[in-house]
Each structure stands twice: as C-alpha cells, then as structure tokens.
Chains A and B, each alone.
Chain A
Amino acid sequence: MNRNTWISAYARFLGTTFSVNLQAVMEYRVNFLIQAFGMMLNNAAFALFWGVLIERTGGIGGYGFSDIMFIWALVSSSFGLAHILFGNIRSLGRIVQKGELDLYLLQPKDVFLNLLASRTIVSAWGDFIYGFIVLCFLPGLSLGRLAIFSSFVCSGGLIFAATFAAAESLTFFMGNSSAISSAIAEFMLSFSLYPETVFDRGMRWVFYSILPSGFIAFVPLAVFKGLNWAMMPLVWIVALAYVAASYSLFRLGLKRYESGNQIGARL
C-alpha cells in the first residue's frame, strides 16, 4: 500500500479509537472526575511528604525539592500518557492467556498497536494532568522548558509502554508472567521517583536497561536543568529503540500463540 494512505489509515484508526474511548470516559463524568482528582490528591500528598523531608534534611542525593518535583511531574505525566493512549499495556498478558488475541488477529490492523490502543485507563488522565500542574509551580518555567517537558513526557510514555508491554509479552513464553510484569512495573515506577544518586553505583546500569528509569527521569532532569538540547534526540532514539525491541518481542511471542477456548473461566 501507498505510504501516505497507510499513515492516514492508521491516523484515522488511532484518532477514532481515542475519541470513542474519550467519549465513553465522559459518559461516566463523575467517576472520571473522582478518579482523576483522587489520583492528583494522592500525588499531592506525596509532594507534601517530600517537601517536609527535604526541608529537614536539606536535599537528598544532591536533589533539591524542585528537582524531585520535576521528576514527579515527568514520571506522572509519562505514566499517565502511556495508559491513556495504550490502555491495554498492563492487560496484554491476560488477553493472551485467555485467547482473546483472536479478535485482534482477525482485524486488518497491526495486532500489537490495535490491542494496546483499543482501551484507555480513566484514572491515567489524573496522572497526566497532575504532572503539568506541578510543572506550573516549579521555578524558572519558560516556554522552552515546557517544550522540553512535553517532549520528554512523550518519549517517557513510549518507554513506559514499551517496557510494560514487553514484560507482559513474556506470557507467550512462560504461560503466565503476571508476577514478573507487575514487579517490573512497580520497580520501574518507584525507582524513577527517587534521585539516581541514592542508588548504589553498581546497580545503576539497571536503569539504563531492563528498568529504563534513567531515560524516563534522570537524563531528562539533566537536560531540563542545563537546557542541554543536544541530549533530547538521544532520548528519543532510545525511546524508539525500546519500542522496536518491545514490538519484536511481541512478534516473536505471537508465533507461539495457541489461541484457546476459554469462555470466562477463573484464572
């Protein structure tokens, strides 16, 4: 197929999915608002905790309060974005296990993208918006910094999505990977929220490989503080590499997919 029509077909598909899902979310307005604000309140409580802590200790691992808040904002928004656009990243394994992948295999769109994008997580909107609100309160905000932040939210969202989806894809190989994938998700989220320097030097390589918190939080912080634009393309290249790796892992696993006849059994 012609490249242009291919792109416009996918744009229409993703656009329609997004708008339909958003409409569905809006149907439950109250629920949406409660979840979104609940998430923000939850995050705000943590901000308070960090504020008090740093006031007492005068900085942790070389990070000041605004550094911590920047990381919080970034991680929160990227995490939110990943779940808004690709709501199924955490259910992929279950879908494979239950044989529900059949549905996506029957449709003329890329299975991976179709599967991930066909759902949105309501509470993720709270995370997403929270990050931007926090950013507004940080000192020294400029249009340039907003642009950097937004760019890193996008690359971070992709890295989150790619890592979570890859962990879930392990289901193809092990039959059930829910323990591993939820551990990866937990660790990655927690590690991203602490200053890198808190961790042992020998352990840091982990943040630039299987739990890529480094590319989600640490590198962007350096760029943001130093307005070091040169690092930005690098982070994007890394993000796309993670996406490619995750996609390949899924493809590899798909070859082993054996469908199933489950009607809604207990797992």
Chain B
Amino acid sequence: MNVIEAEGLEKTFTTRVKPEGLKASFASLVKPRMREVAAVKGVSFEVESGEVLAFLGPNGAGKSTTIKMLTGILAPSAGKARVLGLDPAKERLELSRYIGAVFGQRSQLWFHLPPADSFRLIGAIYEIDESDRIWRQAELVERFGLAPYMDVPVRKLSLGERIRCEIAASLLPCPQVLFLDEPTIGLDVIAKREIRLLLAEAAEVDDVTVFLTSHDIGDIEKLCKRAIIIHHGEVVVDESMKDLRHRALARKLVGVKYAEPVRFQIDGLSPVKVKAADVAGAAGIAGAAGVAGAGDGAWTAASFEVDTRCHQLPDLIRALAEKGEILDLTVEDEPLENIIAGIYGAQSGAEAAAAARPRTASAPAAPQTTAPAGEKAFS
C-alpha cells in the first residue's frame, strides 16, 4: 500500500525583492517588486508502507519544502499529494494525528519545561488516553535511554540529548509516518550512530514509515532501503540503496606500498596518487597530473582508481605484485559519497539526471583511463 504519493508537486515562493537605497525603498512601498523562486518543480514519487526512505539533495534542492507540503504546512502551487490517503493541504488537522515530524533545526519540545511535561502536553494535544500515554512513555524512555533527562528543562540538554527526546516525543502518539528533516545535524559520531539505531528500531518495532532527509551519507547507508535524490527541484534518482551502492561497487580504489622503490608503468591505468622515492625537489606526494610527465620515476607507493567493468582486478594485483615486494595492499570500494557528489555537482536538473544514470561499461570510468575501454591484461 502506498503511504505517500506525490504527483507533480510544485512550489513557487513569491518573495518581495528588497531594493537598495532609500529612494527605491519608498518606491517599493507603493509598488513592491516581487520575485518568484521555484523551489520544487514537479516532483513525483511513491512511498510504500514500512519503507525507510532517504530523501536527498544538495542545499536548496527543495527537500524541506517538499516535506512541508507533505505534512500540510505549505500548500503546493501545483500538483497533488496524498499521505495515508489524505490530502495534506485540505485535511491537515486529520492527517496530523497519524504523522510525526522532527526538524533537526527546530524544537517541538517546550523550551523551558522538562521533557516529562512536554510528553504530558503532547498526550493532551494528541488526545492519548492518560494510562496509554504513561505506558507508551515508559517504553520510549527505556528504549531511548531518557530516564536521566526527563526532569531537566529542555534548554539545559545537549543537542544530542534533545534530539533523542524530540524523536521519542514524536513517536509518543504512535504515528504511521515519521518525517525527519536532518535529524542528525550537528551530532557527533556516537550520537549519530545512536540516532540511527533508534530510528531503525522504530521502523521495525513501531512499524512506522520513515521519510528521512540528511546530508550524512552514513545515516542513509545504514538506515535506508531506498533513495530519492532531488536536484533543482526535480527528482533525478529514485532507486533502491542496493542499486545506488552497486554503482559505487563498480569502482575500486587500489592502494599499494612497496618495500623498495619500483619503476613501472601499467598500460591504460595511471595512478591517481603516488609517493615518489627519489625526492629530487618534488614533494613526497604529487598529484596525478604532475606525475604524468615523470611517468618513469621510481615510486614506493601508489593508488589507482579501477573501473572493474574495464579492468580485471586480479590482473592488476598480479601485475603489481610482479613489480616488487609489496608491503601493503588495499582494495576499497569507491565511497557512495563520490557518486552522490557527482549528482549534486550538476548545474541543472537534466544534467543531474544524466550524471545519475548508471555508467555503462563502454564509457570511460575515470579521466585517467586513457586506453580504449574493454578488458585488458596488464604487462
């Protein structure tokens, strides 16, 4: 069953342009100049019940705006949205009983009150039976480890403690869908990990559909099964995390370190980074571009970006092993971050969509691979 449906959602903000100078300011009192900002331009997607979805995009892509339209805070300029079968713009009050929302940058807890009071208030606002509330609250306090903070005013809590309370508070009325807008912003590594675990548990135990935006790739990799990436207000990627990760898996980063300086060249692959052995003026580590000229220098270490659809990894490693005594060898997947950065870097929605398309084997994977595509043996 689809819990969230967006069909050509659009939002255009009209903002008053503040003119420079006093004279222009007076003129604008009479006839203000308006500028239109298209924040979201026709976004369509569906989210099924029980999904944990990552909603990604660079700053200003329109993520928060989309969430606001799905929760009924903003009315869309065009298009339709349905959440739990309700129209958020028209049936906001009814919908609000069944959804929760956490905005990492805005608190829903009463600033001067301890969380225990906030929970009581939320119980009254959501009309939860008092005995149910106490029972549910005890469970959440236990799961989220909130016992030490329940009677400390929220303003005295650390950011991480507060976010834990925020999420617990939004789960108190047992929502069916939970929207989270950058819940881990500003948290340390441990706190982030805790939040992820708690959200995963919530999705599992409470059976909530989770709609998450974040700039933290870790959040997304650990938590989400599917990703939608929007850019310039348009959807450019909508696929499972598995597929998205699979693209990353096609590229490997191979690093090698030799006991003695070696001199070698590999057909079709030049290292992206090397460590020169004979330091003849050159700094220890040179960029790939600088290396190209001094291709026959002696190196003690190098790293390669390998597209496994063009090159066989075992061949490369065999070739490397033949050159000298290897001290250390690392093979890593290309971080998912790079793939996403490639999509984010695009100038327009169309370009981003192009960048988002899976690379085919015939296209050169990296600028360094100068040789024609196809499998190659190393000499």
Contact = CB atoms under 8 A, between A and B. Distances in A.
Interface of A: 9, 12-13, 15-17, 20, 23-24, 100, 102-103, 105-110, 114, 118, 175, 255, 257-259, 261, 263
B2 interface: no
A12 B117 CA distance: 14
Given A15-B124, A105-B96, 4 more contacts: A103-B108, A105-B71, A106-B72, A263-B105
A107 B170 CA distance: 10
A255 B68 CA distance: 14
A259 B110 contact: no
Given A13-B124, A102-B73, A108-B125, A259 B112 contact: no
B52 interface: no
A108 B96 contact: yes
Nearest to B112: A24
Interface of B: 13, 16, 64, 68, 71-75, 92-94, 96-97, 99, 101, 103, 105-106, 108, 110, 112-113, 117, 120-121, 123-127
A205 B126 CA distance: 44
B127 A9 contact: yes
A259 B68 contact: yes
Contacts of B124: 12-13, 15-17
11 contacts: A16-B120, A17-B121, A20-B113, A102-B68, A102-B106, A105-B72, A105-B92, A107-B96, A110-B93, A258-B13, A258-B74
Contacts of A13: 124-125, 127
Nearest to A14: B124
A181 B254 CA distance: 67
Q: Tell which of B16, B94, B121 has the most Cβ of chain A within 10 Å.
A: B121
B93 A100 contact: no
A37 to B, nearest CB: 22
Contacts of B16: 175
B323 to A, nearest CB: 54
A57 B75 CA distance: 61
Nearest to B11: A258
B114 to A, nearest CB: 9
Contacts of B64: 261
Contact of B127 (A12, A110, A263): A12
A107 B16 CA distance: 30
A106 B101 contact: yes
Contacts of B96: 105-108
B125 A109 contact: yes
The 3 closest A-B pairs by CB, nearest first: A16-B124, A108-B96, A108-B97
A166 B105 CA distance: 29
A128 B344 CA distance: 58
A250 to B, nearest CB: 15
B93 A108 contact: yes
A107 to B, nearest CB: 5
Contacts of A259: 68, 73-74
A106 B71 contact: yes
B28 to A, nearest CB: 12
Contacts of A118: 110
Contacts of B101: 106
Given A106-B71, A106-B73, A23 B117 contact: yes
A124 to B, nearest CB: 16
A175 B14 CA distance: 12
Contacts of A103: 106, 108
B121 A16 contact: yes
Contacts of B126: 107-108
B85 to A, nearest CB: 17
A110 B96 CA distance: 11
A106 to B, nearest CB: 5
Contacts of B97: 108
Nearest to B170: A106
A20 B112 contact: no
B219 to A, nearest CB: 20
Contacts of A263: 105-106
A7 B326 CA distance: 78
Nearest to B68: A259
Nearest to A114: B125
Nearest to B75: A255
Nearest to B114: A24
Contacts of B68: 102, 259
Nearest to B14: A258
Nearest to B96: A108
Contacts of B108: 103, 106
Contacts of A106: 71-73, 96, 99, 101, 108
Contact of B117 (A24, A107, A108): A24
Contacts of B112: 24
A35 to B, nearest CB: 15
A176 to B, nearest CB: 11
Contacts of A20: 110, 113, 117, 120-121
A45 B99 CA distance: 53
Contacts of A23: 117
A172 B325 CA distance: 73
Contacts of B93: 108, 110
Contacts of A114: 125
Contacts of B72: 105-106
Contacts of B103: 102
